[in-house]
Amino acid sequence: MKKRFFTNARMILPDQRGSILGSLVVEDGMITEIRSGLLTIGLPVAGLAGVIDCQGDYLFPGLIDLHCHGAVGHDAMEATPTAFDRILRHHLSHGTTLTVLSTVSAPLEGILSVLMAAEQYITSTSDGFLAGIHLEGPYFARSRRGAHLESSLREPSDQETRALLKHREIIKRITIAPEIPGACELILELKKHGITISAGHSEASDSEAKTGFDLGVTQVTHLYNCMSSQRSHLGTRTTGLAEAALTRRGVLCELIADGVHLPPTLLRLAWMAKGWEELVLVSDATAGAGMGEGALFDLGGIPCRIANDAAWTGTGSGRRLAGSTACLLDGVRFMVECVGIPLEEAVAMATLVPAKALGIERERGSIDRGKRADLVRVSPAWQVNGVWSSGLKVV
């Protein structure tokens, strides 16, 4: 591959270095040089082949989404290359260059179909947009199931665990409620096989949550949403999974910053408690992402409708949020503009932090020499003006 030169770019750099106005050199899909200044001497002039004049736009690392169900009417549970491709391409157009697709609670056969389809998809494609699968369910507390079919919820079993572990390489994370029967044994077994365990859709008490962390739970799924939190009991206050995660060092907390799931105050509270290093932004996007107001779609057998920029299931008192219709970049913007988080920290929460969670921070997740050139050009008005994967323009 010929060299590519990104000039006049406001690059967001890792390790609290903030942003610098400068130029970037890419060769063979890798970042080989970073220079500060407008048109650094020695770089080709704009207009020549292989020169991208960013005209003062931001240059972010490619965004990494650890929790995404779908987009444009398609869901990961379809378990087809077409569905995967359309979901990934939609989010790619909004700056997400690597995605972990998420399942919903379903019979074992349906979950295994997704795992096998993902294995085949990664083997047959070379674009590198799919990182693997996040199993969200079916081991949940019924009272915190959210938009998951109650009939699909169940307790772990040795037989089912053995079937899932045959596909452990493609499984990047499993979300479980640590308090349900069989959860402790499952946590220990998954940890033994190197699978990341996240607590979520849980009614865990403070002590049950801490037991889960002690056994090997290292993350929580969509902090605050579908999980136990502080409440009054017989005149005294008790805490739950949310507070246990916020006060436990080393536990990574997902945040859905779409402006619907959580108010700015709770998002800022999480940031003040954990710092950017232990918070990861996720889209939790469903098939409704990219569809218009009033559009209908299915989420794991549950009919959903888009209303007021969010996905919902049910009506009246039974109405529930059913994931997001946003993309990951929307969450970065919300954290900056509505929560007041520094831009470089919000970007890191959608790039470097998820890269570390996947164990790929040496290859992806930041603009650094020697790393893969997954890049997103974003205007000051948050318009995506280009996406590159391994230095090749894909949007």
Residue 118 and residue 11 share a domain: no
Find the range with the poorest average confidence among 37-41, 248-252, 281-285, 386-390: 37-41
Q: Which residues pair with 142 in a beta bridge?
A: none
CATH value at residue 23: 2.30.40.10
Structure tokens at 389: 């994967």
Judge contact between 21 and 66, C-beta under 8 A: no
d(CA 254, CA 222): 5
Q: What is the pLDDT of residue 43?
A: 54
| Phi and psi torsions of 124, nearest 5° | -95, -10
DSSP string for 163-231: HHHTTTTTEEEEEE-TTSTTHHHHHHHHHHTT-EEEE-SB--BHHHHHHHHHHT--EESSTTTTB---E
pLDDT recorded at residue 302: 87
Compute the mean pLDDT over every residue in the chain, rounded to the nearest whole number.
93
What pLDDT was estimated at residue 14? 82
Q: Domain for residue 85, yes or no?
A: yes
**What does the pLDDT read at residue 37?**
79
Same domain, 69 and 165: yes
- Does residue 364 belong to any structural domain of this protein? no
Do 196 and 331 belong to one domain?
A: yes
Q: Which CATH number belongs to the domain containing residue 203 in this structure?
A: 3.20.20.140
Check if the beta carbon of residue 339 is closer than 8 Å to that of residue 279.
no
How far apart CA 9 and CA 151 sit, in angstroms, is 52
Asked if pLDDT for residue 172 goes beyond 70, the answer is yes
Both structure tokens of 290: 């990219």
200 falls within a domain = yes
Asked whether residue 298 carries a pLDDT value surpassing 60, the answer given is yes
Measure the CA angle with vertex 277, ends 272 and 283; round to 5°.
90
240 and 383 assigned to the same domain: no
Residue 213 in this model has a pLDDT that exceeds 50: yes
State the Cα–Cα distance between residues 314 and 165, nearest whole angstrom. 34
Residue 375 clears pLDDT 90, i.e. is over it: yes
Residue 42: pLDDT above 80?
no
**Inter-residue long-range contacts of 237-241, CB under 8 Å, 24+ positions, other chains counted:** 238/205, 238/206, 239/206, 240/203, 240/204, 240/205, 240/206, 240/209, 241/178, 241/199, 241/200, 241/202, 241/204, 241/209
Q: Is residue 363 part of a domain?
A: no
pLDDT at 2: 76
Is 365 inside any structural domain? no
**Alpha-carbon distance 240 to 228, whole Å?**
5
Predicted confidence at residue 319, as pLDDT, reads 81
Please indicate, yes or no, if residue 346 is contained in any of the structural domains.
yes
- Indicate whether 199 and 53 sit together in one domain: no
- Share above pLDDT 90 across residues of the chain, in percent, rounded to a whole number: 83
- The CA–CA distances, whole Å, from 73 to 5, 79, 166, 285, 306 equal 37, 14, 30, 11, 11
**Within-domain flag for 7:** yes
Structural domain containing residue 32: 3-60+370-393
Q: Please give the average per-residue pLDDT across 162-169, as a whole number.
A: 98
User: Looking at the predicted structure, is the pLDDT value of residue 164 above 80?
Assistant: yes
Give the whole-angstrom CA distance, residue 241 versus residue 143: 14
Q: 185 and 88 in one domain?
A: yes
Same domain for 379 and 345? no
Helical residues (DSSP H) of 93-181, grouped into ranges: 108-124, 158-165
Residues 34 and 181 in one domain: no
Per-residue pLDDT band at 301 (split at 50, 70, 90): confident
Residue 343's pLDDT is what? 96
Identify whether residues 166 and 36 lie together within a single domain.
no
Q: How confident is the model at residue 41 (pLDDT cuts 50, 70, 90)?
A: very low
pLDDT at residue 147 above 80? yes
**Is 225 domain-assigned?**
yes
Within this chain, do residues 10 and 156 fall inside the same structural domain, yes or no? no
- As for how many domains the chain has, the answer is 2
Same domain, 164 and 216: yes
Instruction: Calculate the CA 171 to chain-centre distance.
Output: 14
Same domain (yes/no): 186, 334: yes
